[in-house]
């Protein structure tokens, strides 16, 4: 419009395969890259999914079957559904009898379509999803560190007593013949009374 040309969005520009106007193919045609059709094909013409492909139909081309490609330029006759994943251009000599699925469409004056035009939405952007929480019953067992004996604090190991046993107050066994320690009463040693020696009896008078 106003002398400004529209920029085409076709991404594949190299045509690596050709079906000439003197060829008549009965059966499906599977291709990758770019394909130009000048002859007649009775079967499906399918580009490989997941790759960018281009199919170009000249004004002499005729396809009776389904057509799929990433980009497509149609100036011939297609009797069947046409699915274009990215960009579709219908030139003045295009005649399509079937439904058309497209994302971007450029249709020139003179092109005819007998069917539905279905616009395909852009693929949604990949969203980062957080890892789902673990299901009940699948939790990993938690391990607890048990402090070595004698250390303060820490976690009490299962099955062990939470309190320490009091130290024994009984004296250690003494070997035979060893002197016994004196008893302690109120912090003071009890003195052993000295033995009383009786005086010798006197005989006779003075």
Measured CA to CA, the distance from residue 42 to residue 62 in angstroms comes to 8
Write down the pLDDT at residue 105: 94
pLDDT tens figures, 64-121: 999 999 999 999 999 999 999 999 999 999 999 999 999 999 999 999 999 999 998 8
Q: Are 114 and 98 in contact (CB under 8 A)?
A: yes
pLDDT tens figures, 13-55: 688 899 999 999 999 999 999 999 999 999 999 999 989 999 9
Domain ranges of the chain: 25-119
Bridge partners for 66 per DSSP: none
Longest dimension (CA), the chain: 178
Residue 205 pLDDT exceeds 50:
no
Q: Are 65 and 43 in contact (CB under 8 A)?
A: yes
* Number of Cβ atoms within 10 Å of the Cβ of 188: 7
Residue 171 pLDDT exceeds 90:
no
Write down the pLDDT at residue 141: 57
Backbone dihedral angles phi then psi of residue 176, each to the nearest 5 degrees? -60, 140
């Amino acid at each position: 419009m106003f002398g400004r040309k529209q920029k085409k969005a076709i991404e594949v520009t190299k045509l690596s395969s050709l079906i000439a106007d003197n060829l008549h193919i009965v059966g499906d045609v599977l291709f990758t890259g770019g394909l130009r059709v000048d002859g007649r094909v009775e079967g499906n013409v399918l580009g490989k999914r997941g790759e960018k492909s281009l199919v170009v139909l000249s004004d002499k081309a005729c396809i009776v079957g389904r057509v799929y490609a990433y980009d497509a330029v149609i100036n011939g006759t297609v009797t069947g559904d046409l699915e274009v994943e990215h960009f579709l251009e219908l030139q003045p000599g295009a005649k399509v009898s079937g439904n058309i699925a497209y994302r971007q469409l450029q249709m020139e004056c003179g092109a005819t379509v007998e069917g539905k035009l279905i616009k395909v939405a852009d693929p949604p952007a990949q969203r980062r999803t957080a890892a789902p929480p673990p299901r009940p019953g699948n939790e990993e067992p938690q391990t607890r560190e048990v402090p070595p004996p004698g250390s303060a604090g820490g976690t009490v190991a299962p099955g062990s007593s939470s309190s320490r046993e009091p130290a024994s107050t009984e004296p250690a066994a003494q070997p035979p013949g060893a002197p016994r320690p004196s008893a302690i009463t109120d912090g003071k040693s009890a003195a052993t009374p000295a033995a009383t020696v009786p005086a010798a009896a006197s005989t006779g008078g003075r």
